[in-house]
Amino acid sequence: GFHNYVQLWSDAQFLNSLWVTVKFVALSVSIEAVLGFALALFCLHEFRGIRLLRTVLIIPMVITPVVVAILFRLIYASDAGMLTALSEAMGGGGVQILGNPLNAFIGLVVLDVWEWTPLMFLILLAGLQSLPHEPFEAARVDGAGSWRVFADLTFPMMRPVLAIAIVLRTIDAFGTFDQVFVLTRGGPGEATRLISIYGYDTAFKFQQTGYAAALFVTIGLVVLA
């Protein structure tokens, strides 16, 4: 009932998972927007091998999220992971990623950035390719440098597309579940316990389906607002 919605805002676990989710979404989407824009600007130019490069760049996005999580779990494994193997080859010790709260959170962000930067890249590349050529040709005739063209023309004209890309990705990022469930299950502790994981535990582990429903309705309204 209505008391579930009231109880949410005094639930320390809900507030903590909401804060973790906000940090995760803000950091991931910001990095993805910057990298996606940079890659789109680079791939806007035609050169030998550009089509192959564009294809390679979108591969992470088409891989199933569960498979991506398994891949990164193998990379992050402290006993026989790729990072540990690389560290030992350089004379270091084992790398502790998933067992350390801060490292696990950063590792989750890295996974998300690797998987979803291609989406930002595709949206922004399409936006760049749709820009009119006349203003840029006039700027070049006037002797404007690359930075001036970007600051005065490219970025202002791309703001609507960038805003749409960020909004779409933000909404999607709030629903991140598969990757976290496979990679960390919300741990260690509550370091990566996103709101989706807390909602799942509430509904299926603690059998509080009404409370979980109120939780997801509230988050949906917050995101859409």
Gap between the Cα atoms of 193 and 21, Å rounded: 8
Q: Which pTM value belongs to this model?
A: 0.93
Cα–Cα distance for residue pair 53/44, rounded to 1 Å: 11
Number of domains in the chain: 1
CB-side neighbour CA atoms (13 Å) of 156: 9
Q: Tokens representing 79?
A: 């006993």
- Domain residues for the domain of 53 are 2-224
- Tell me if 47 sits within 8 A of 53, measured CB to CB: no
Q: What is the pLDDT along the chain (225 residues), one digit of tens a residue?
A: 788 888 999 999 999 999 999 999 999 999 999 999 999 999 998 888 899 999 999 999 999 999 999 999 999 988 877 888 887 888 777 788 999 999 999 999 999 999 999 999 999 999 999 999 999 999 888 888 889 999 999 999 999 999 999 999 999 999 999 999 999 999 999 999 999 999 999 999 999 999 999 999 999 888 887
Task: Give the CATH number for residue 108.
Answer: 1.10.3720.10
CA distance 126 to 139: 22
